[in-house]
Amino acid sequence: MISFPRAILHLDADAFFASCEQAVNPALRGRPVITGKERGIVSAASYEAKARGVTRGMRLFEVRKICPDAVILPSDYETYSIFSLRMFEILRRFTPDVEEYSIDEAFADLTGLRRFHRASYESIADSIRKTMAAELGFTVSVGVSLTKVLAKIGSKHRKPNGLTIIGSRDIEEHLSQLPVGKIWGIGPNTAAYLAKFGIRTALDFARRPESFADKALSKPYREIWHELNGRSVLPVITEPKQSYQSISKAKTFTPPSTDREFVFAQLAKNLENACIKARRHNLAAQRLSLFLRQQDFRDNGCEIKLDRPTSYPAELFNALHEGFSRLYRPGTPYRQTTVVLADLVAESACQYTLFDDPVRIEKMARLYKAVDSLSARFGKHTVQHCASLPTRQHTQHAGDRGDLSHRRKDLIRGETARRCLGIPIGKIQI
DNA sequence: TCTGGGGTCCTAGGACCC
DNA sequence: TCTGGGGTCCTAGGACCC
């Protein structure tokens, strides 16, 4: 248990995706910018758009009504990833202890660095904020406190371009304003549960005795309770994420379909995509899960244990088909399919069992190596399995576009982002 | 918040074993 | 056969995050 007071910083980019778009294209600055065109709902909205009433998750036709001059763009993850990397790099100039929490958020441990920087924690945080704004071309919001949970409350307190320090004497004041459901890690279910005990605000929660936390709550919530009381129990995780526990691919289609072949093709395509990602990370799955979501949003799924870890669709189609047949009900309209590759292990760690056919497996490995290199040159799904072909017929929506002009555009945009930040041109893997 | 896509972690309970 | 206690492993499902 860490016993001396810590200074944990949380940094949150303001309207990150929209800000990146404005940073690469100065003509968009000062204008309402929205990303998420490919999904039909708002992923991110610039502050100009938010001022006009645009919110996250809003449907785009609605946006066009309330904000006809909105610039609506498809998401461009390569550009966002480049800005994200630069953001973490800037933070590491101030402290080596950085946790890359998500594409637009980071935690950092500043404890003990006042002497090194000859500055208070507040002015270190302020320098970080200002450096970000100067070098990225958009603002971030920052919170500093004794724990991760409190730092996160701080960064949310004032946005955009905010800096909030929550010292031990300020904790109560901040918590008394905050509904318990707004705390990081407490969702609607837990908020409703806590309400049964008369807990409405974060302060109500923090004030309950430890015996309450021990008796009534599970581990994640006990940890939050400690953190709210200024005791740091959640570490800043500085090791970069190496691997995945699972890889999933999902796709919603509108309108919902009752066509067996079409629904299976969607599933098969998800499987191919999940496998491509697994191979890129040199991972192989020992378990395959699939889910079908009906029109009414009910899910049913099943799970299949695999005989041997694999990332080759050809080896998985039998299992996929078997699972699908178990789940599929004729006449039921489905709107989404999902594939999950789980129990992932490093490919290099895979051993042949007595029952495997090494020759066949080697052949398959060579085949997929060829498929992957063709895709690298000519684009994803240059080579595709027959079973996933029937997705082509009615999904002409954005996202399924295969034409080269989009790809060309993406490349150009990626280069623009690099030039913006002075990064050498080269392929980035997301 | 009427709902897109991609993840993580925790717990309860059953199976099985000594 | 009313019959302890304890451990491990696995799975289903819940809850939450961005």
Average pLDDT over residues A171-198: 96
| Nearest CA-CA partner of A238 in A94, A82, A81, A100 | A100
| Amino acid A359: pLDDT | 76
CA–C1' gap, A395 and B14, in angstroms: 44
For residue A412, what pLDDT band results from cuts at 50, 70 and 90? low
Q: Is the pLDDT of residue A342 over 50?
A: yes
For residue A400, what pLDDT band results from cuts at 50, 70 and 90? very low
Cα A176–Cα A178–Cα A179 angle in degrees, nearest 5: 115
Domains assigned to chain A: 246-393 (3.30.1490.100)
Beta strands in A201-298 (DSSP E): 246-257, 283-294
Average pLDDT over residues A403-414: 47
Assess whether A105 carries a catalytic annotation: yes
| Amino acid A182: pLDDT | 96
Q: Which tops the pLDDT comparison, A20 or A39?
A: A20
Across all residues in chain A, what is the average pLDDT?
87
Least confident range from A104-118, A179-193, A244-258: namely A244-258
Q: In this structure, is the dihedral angle defined by the CA atoms of residues A112, A116, A118 and A119, taken in order, positive or negative?
A: negative
pTM of the model: 0.85
| Amino acid A354: pLDDT | 63
Nearest-angstrom CA–CA distance, A71 and A31: 8
Average pLDDT over residues A166-184: 96
Helix segments in A251-312, DSSP class H: 260-280
Chain B positions under 7 Å from a protein CB? 1-12
Does at least one atom of strand C sit less than 7 Å from the CB of A101? yes
| Sheet containing A44-45: order of strands | A44-45, A33-35, A71-73
Q: Is the pLDDT of residue A141 over 80?
A: yes
| Amino acid A427: pLDDT | 41
Q: Which residue is nearest to nucleotide B1 (CA to C1')?
A: A57
Catalytic pick from A48, A105, A227, A315? Answer: A105
| Amino acid A406: pLDDT | 43
Nearest-angstrom CA–CA distance, A183 and A325: 42
| Amino acid A297: pLDDT | 83
CA–C1' gap, A143 and C6, in angstroms: 47
CA–C1' gap, A304 and B15, in angstroms: 19
For residue A295, what pLDDT band results from cuts at 50, 70 and 90? confident
| Nearest CA-CA partner of A6 in A326, A234, A214 | A234
Residue A330 near residue A258 (C-beta atoms within 8 A): yes
Question: ω into residue A255 within 30 of 0, thus cis?
Answer: yes
- The string of pLDDT tens digits covering residues A59-82 is 999 999 999 999 999 999 889 999
For residue A410, what pLDDT band results from cuts at 50, 70 and 90? very low
